[in-house]
Amino acid sequence: MSVPPDSPTLETATFAAGCFWGVEATFRRLAGVKSTQVGYIGGPLAKPTYEQVCTDRTGHAEAVEVIFDPKVVSFHDLLEVFWQNHNPTTLNRQGPDVGSQYRSSIFFHSPEQEAEAKKSRDAAQAHFPKPIVTEIKPAQTFWRAEEYHQQYLEKRGLASCHI
């Protein structure tokens, strides 16, 4: 679902911050976010399934791809939401969810996003007593998760996960 070539005003951002259900719900509520999808990124296995990713052996993170209008919401604003809605100081874990698939990551789509992510991480560190362990890496192939994971919380009338 990356930005189509005929949509030059839209941009893509990809975040991993624990279980993708709650992360997606958080970003979907923002003005300027045109669409989201949950999936897997960061591992070498092509077309991983949820069951494979849950083994913690594929190298993938559960992530959310966000298509946004930078005229309405900036990448900087998305980063602020990212830092405020998970604990970036816990390695491979968010709340009760443990494993590298739950790691904190920003997958950048341009040199500008990389620079902004690093600057934002450094500024966010002042708000956390422990070191931020969020990885900042180039975006790779994003594998869309199974349909039942898309907008999971919305389909069930829920606003957030346990975190």
19 in active site:
yes
Which residue has 């994971």 as its token pair? 149
* Alpha helices, DSSP H, located in 10-110: 20-28, 50-53, 75-84
**Catalytic choice (17, 19, 67, 78):** 19
Measure the CA–CA gap between 110 and 97, rounded to whole angstroms.
30
Q: Is the dihedral of CA 30, 62, 1, 138 positive or negative?
A: positive
d(CA 157, CA 129): 35
* Catalytic residue positions, numbered: 19
